[in-house]
Structure 1
């Protein structure tokens, strides 16, 4: 009887200890169930990629960045050999300078012609008008002197006037004839001067055409110069976007072909976590839902993210999943874009876990696997 009592006492004590242990586990040690409005997923961090290549072939003379370097937009990454292009550029500059000097000289000549030709024409016209007046006046004088000489010659025959007066009248007529011939010569000369002055318009037109032709040559030379400068600029290969260099294909001294890839850059400010959501849970996920991303490096620091891509077709779980059982499940690819990447703490390739909240009232929780 005493042994039985002792056994029951021991059983009671053990039962009490078990009940206390269960209570302690339930109220203090048991992990609460995962909230209903959350979906767990995991994957690797990726980013938008930019392939860096050159427009021209050439030999690399200076390599300024390598894998792991962070670059900013416009930063010089590679310099190609530019000796030949530099020579062409200098030749183009010299040609432009020569043509520009020719154009300035032609424009100056045209300006002088435009200023002097109207003045010469006006002067020649005034001279012609004066010659016309002199010709008319000399012609009238000649006719009058002729009449006087004929009249005195008739009077001389009747001995009405002295012979001396008749000779003076005849001499005056001859002088008037000479003056008339001089006036005709002066008018001819004035006509010639006006014709020569009028040719100035043709010279202005010719100079205008010359200026236009030289200006066209200058434009072609400037285009050739701009092309040479563009090629010169393209021999310096710059980063098309800010990010981290993940791949480098070329090295110093190598010949690279036009358009061949040289670097791969990932934008560290546009990272996303690509996860795979099981088919049975994809109905809970939609674009715009908030998410939190957790990494081993920062286990207590969730990074906010937003769903911006959901695959339209299911696929089998990728091969990087370890177990065969998981690989045969149908899943949907989902991209969770990070709202920010402070101090670029996250980089492409890092494994990470994600929690997607599809019910607003659900509290956030860390992923559990």
Structure 2
């Protein structure tokens, strides 16, 4: 358009305008190239994100597989351990460490002293006075000044020390019935086989 103008337009104006147009064209080309490069970077970033996501999923799968292996190893170790069903004290160890034992053999004998059992015998004439659930007081010979609270657990249904032939009153008096009393063993003082005296109810011994 400048060239179509009258001849009095300075040539320097035409040159400046052409230079500006060339500069704008170069800027446009550079902007297009930058846009293309930015799009390529975005596509590369998307590919990187997908790759990172796949790597993260693979890492999670490996972690779960490792956890499963650890749990399996823990189960295998647990199968090699023999555990008591409850807390108790070791009474006897019939085998040495590392010794090979046969299936079903006793590995250790445990004694649970948290609650002990006292067994005594009632004559035939007195067995009707004691019933399961009755309160009892136990005194051990080793601790004569202490009283241990107990409860009658069972009264045998069959007599022991029964004579071969019961014919007389004396024979009937010889019939006795085992009675079991459970005793709360505070401080674990009572031991297996320890002699005790049992009192049932109102001073009945």
1:307 paired to 2:151: yes
Match of 2:168 in 1: none
Q: Does 1:214 align with 2:59?
A: yes
Task: Map residues 1-369 of structure 1 onto 2, 5 A cutoff.
Answer: 147-149=1-3, 151-152=4-5, 155=6, 161=7, 165=11, 169=14, 175=19, 178-199=22-43, 200=45, 203-204=48-49, 206-225=51-70, 228=73, 240-246=86-92, 248-255=93-100, 261-277=106-122, 280-286=125-131, 287-293=133-139, 298=142, 304-311=148-155, 314-317=157-160, 321=161, 324=164, 329=175, 331=177, 333-340=178-185, 344=189, 346-348=190-192, 350=193, 352=195, 354-359=197-202, 362=203
- Quote how far apart the aligned CAs of 1:306 are: 1.2
User: What TM-score comes out, normalization by structure 2 length?
Assistant: 0.62
SS at match of 2:34: helix
Higher Rg? 1
| Structure 2: stretches of 5+ with no match in the other structure | 166-170
The structure carrying a bigger helix percent of its residues is 1
TM-score (ref. length: structure 1)? 0.39
> 1:52-74 deviations in whole A, cap 9, x for unaligned?
xxxxxxxxxxxxxxxxxxxxxxx
When the two chains are superposed, the root-mean-square deviation of aligned CA atoms in Å is 4.6
**How far 1:180 moved relative to its partner?**
4.3
Aligned length: 195
Q: 1:259 to 1:357 in 2, by over 3 A?
A: closer
Assess if the C-alpha contact under 8 Å between 2:88 and 2:112 holds in 1.
Answer: yes
Higher relative contact order, chain-length normalized (CA < 8 Å, sep 6+):
1
Deviations 1:98-143, CA, capped at 9 Å, x for gaps = xxxxxxxxxxxxxxxxxxxxxxxxxxxxxxxxxxxxxxxxxxxxxx
Unmatched 5+ stretches in structure 1: 1-146, 156-160
